[in-house]
């Protein structure tokens, strides 16, 4: 007699998956391949998801780590994370046809950095060292920017004029962590100037809000996303900080059945660069272990779309 499967309730968070900036960047690559024919070169990864990169590679996109790898006169696409002015300069000097897929919300951060730099502020950038978005942003005013990631970093800051300090943030940070760092900055520099509008993007905020709202109902959280995806890592970390076991998995193959032991309710979500078919694959694999009752929980409806660049 075949033993009866245990049941598990799956809370499927919405919003999840692609944000408008990621969706736009992928469409730009696809349109470029359609219009100009392969190869179209992409600097670094168009978005931080290995599955998306592989799918575009199979269509003819060529991903490079440096502009010097791109043949002169070819089409080069800058990723959603944005790049520094030095990258623009190098690409133009090589005679490349540039297609800019920088997320409009990241571009807003670049404009804020330039504005603060022109006004003579010491700029504090709250972000992850080495992240593509951070590297691109700091490049817009390297002589004026200092990077911080913790409250301890804030204590070590040295600025020319404590009364002319401004801060900027990476778009994919944890809202709660960022708030603590901003408080530390305000305590140290009472006259610090903030961005005109929050820099953490709507998609990051919405996905984090959904996790905070739904974690109390769950015993376990699974986040579908790439380990290089900052916003995906944040979703896992938020659940961990709220005291629930949580795991970041790239796809269905990342599931360890042992995680399900003792779990009656599982919260499932995905980062802003994870395609929804990966989430569907995770549910299908979970069904091989348990009888699953899937309940989609809609916290916010997203209807934001960004237009494609003219080129």
**Which residue numbers are catalytic?**
133
Q: Which residues share a beta bridge with 14? A: 298
Maximum distance among all Cα pairs of the chain, rounded to whole angstroms: 77
Q: Length of the chain, please?
A: 311
- Residue 100, number of CB atoms within 10 A of its CB: 16
Q: The sheet that has 122-126: what strands, in order across it?
A: 145-148, 122-126, 165-169
For 100, the token pair is 């800019």
Looking at 132-286, which runs of residues are DSSP E strands? 145-148, 165-169, 220-224, 246-249, 265-270
Burial class (CB in 10 A: 0-12, 13-18, 19+), 309: middle
- Residue 180, number of CB atoms within 10 A of its CB: 13
The span from the CA of 185 to the CA of 34, in Å, is: 48
Is 174 within 8 Å of 209 (Cβ atoms)? no
120: left (phi over 0), alpha (psi -120 to 50) or beta: left
Is 278 within 8 Å of 224 (Cβ atoms)? yes
The span from the CA of 228 to the CA of 44, in Å, is: 12
For 300, the token pair is 């916010």
- Residue 169, number of CB atoms within 10 A of its CB: 22
């Amino acid at each position: 007699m075949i033993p009866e499967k245990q049941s598990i309730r799956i809370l499927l968070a919405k919003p999840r998956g692609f944000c408008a900036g990621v969706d736009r960047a992928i469409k730009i690559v696809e349109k470029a391949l359609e219009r100009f024919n392969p190869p179209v070169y992409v600097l670094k990864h168009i978005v931080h998801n290995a599955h998306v990169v592989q799918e575009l590679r199979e269509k003819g996109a060529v991903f490079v780590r440096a502009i010097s790898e791109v043949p002169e006169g070819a089409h080069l696409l800058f990723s959603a994370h944005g790049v520094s002015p030095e990258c623009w300069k190098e690409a133009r000097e090589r005679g490349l046809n540039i297609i800019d897929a920088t997320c409009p919300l990241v571009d807003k951060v670049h404009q804020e950095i330039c504005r603060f730099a022109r006004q003579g502020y010491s700029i504090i950038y709250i972000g992850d060292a080495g992240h593509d978005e951070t590297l691109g942003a700091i490049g817009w005013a390297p002589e004026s920017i200092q990077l911080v990631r913790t409250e301890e970093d804030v204590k070590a800051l040295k600025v020319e004029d404590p009364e002319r300090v401004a801060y900027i943030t990476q778009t994919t940070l944890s809202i709660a962590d960022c708030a603590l760092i901003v408080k530390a900055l305000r305590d140290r520099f009472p006259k610090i100037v903030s961005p005109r509008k929050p820099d953490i993007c709507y998609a990051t905020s919405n996905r984090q809000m959904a996790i905070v709202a739904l974690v109390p109902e769950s015993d376990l959280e699974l986040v579908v996303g790439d380990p290089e995806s900052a916003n995906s890592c944040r979703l896992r970390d938020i659940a961990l900080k709220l005291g629930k076991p949580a795991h970041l998995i790239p796809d269905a193959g990342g599931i360890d059945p042992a995680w399900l032991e003792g779990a009656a309710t599982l919260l499932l979500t995905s980062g802003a660069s994870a395609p929804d078919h990966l989430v569907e694959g995770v549910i299908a694999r979970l069904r091989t272990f348990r009888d699953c009752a899937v309940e989609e929980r809609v916290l916010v409806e997203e209807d934001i779309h960004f237009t494609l660049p003219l080129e």
